[in-house]
Amino acid sequence: MWSRHRWMVPYAMIAGIAVYLTSDWAGFDETSTRVALGFAAGAIAVNATTDYRVLARTSRGLTLLKGSRIRQYATGVIEHLPRSTPIEAVGGTVLATDWRVGAHVYTVPRSSERAIQRIAQG
């Protein structure tokens, strides 16, 4: 699951525009190349402002872990949540569902929806 920083869109746009404008100075003369570099910078900015998390139900209760940016695995414990932490679906799209875990909202891909439903049911 993941969440994005609230300033992700402006940050990505500023990064893309900045790279587009400075790429001419760096020696990239073709507009299509400069646009591609701008889009790449925006994509990097989106990735940099995304926090990946793994939620696990253990014998001690719920555990929120930091997730890897590349593969879906945990890299470290963030916090142990009480068993009474509310987990509920709050929206979504065709490709993903938004879930509130305590006070935070995370996006979960549809392929992982059954797993979070099992965790929510306890």
Chain segment 48-106, per-residue pLDDT in tens: 999 999 999 888 889 999 998 887 789 999 999 988 899 999 998 999 999 999 889 99
Residues in CB range of 94: below 8 A, 6 or more apart: 110
Burial class of 39 by CB neighbour count within 10 A (0 to 12, 13 to 18, 19+) = middle
pLDDT of 58: 86
- Token pair, residue 109, equals 């891909």
C-beta of residue 116 within 8 angstroms of C-beta of residue 18: no
pTM: 0.77
pLDDT digits (tens, 9 = 90+) for 3-19: 999 999 999 999 999 99
